[in-house]
Amino acid sequence: MARVYMLANVLPGKEMSIRNTLRGTKGVKAADVITGQFDIVVTIEAKDTNDIFNDILKEIRKVKGITRTETFVAVE
């Protein structure tokens, strides 16, 4: 099982609606609004990192209102 953490910045006032959209995305195990430099942290899991980068992250990139992301691959 592969796991990726994604930090996202979103348009002001869109934090909750984008969080809810992300929570409904296949492969997203958790999405939470956070304080600090980023607005949302997302935990993504799939069979392998290819599934995450080729399928799940492509869907996340389509979400309107996300302005920036950073992705971190968990190492076993």
pLDDT tops 90 at residue 46: yes
What pLDDT does 8 receive?
98
The 10s digit of each residue's pLDDT in 1-32 is 999 999 999 999 999 999 999 999 999 999 99
Label residue 28 left, alpha or beta by phi (over 0 means left) and psi (-120 to 50 means alpha).
Answer: beta
How far is CA 69 from its chain centroid?
Answer: 8
Cβ proximity of 39 and 47 under 8 Å: no
- % of residues, the chain, pLDDT over 90: 97
Q: Kindly list the domain boundaries of the chain, sorted by start residue.
A: 2-73
Q: Rounded CA gap, 9 and 62, in Å?
A: 14
- The pLDDT assigned to 76 comes to 81
According to the CATH classification, is domain 2-73 in 3.30.70.920?
A: yes
pTM greater than the 0.85 cutoff: yes
Report the DSSP pairing between strands 66-73 and 28-33: unpaired
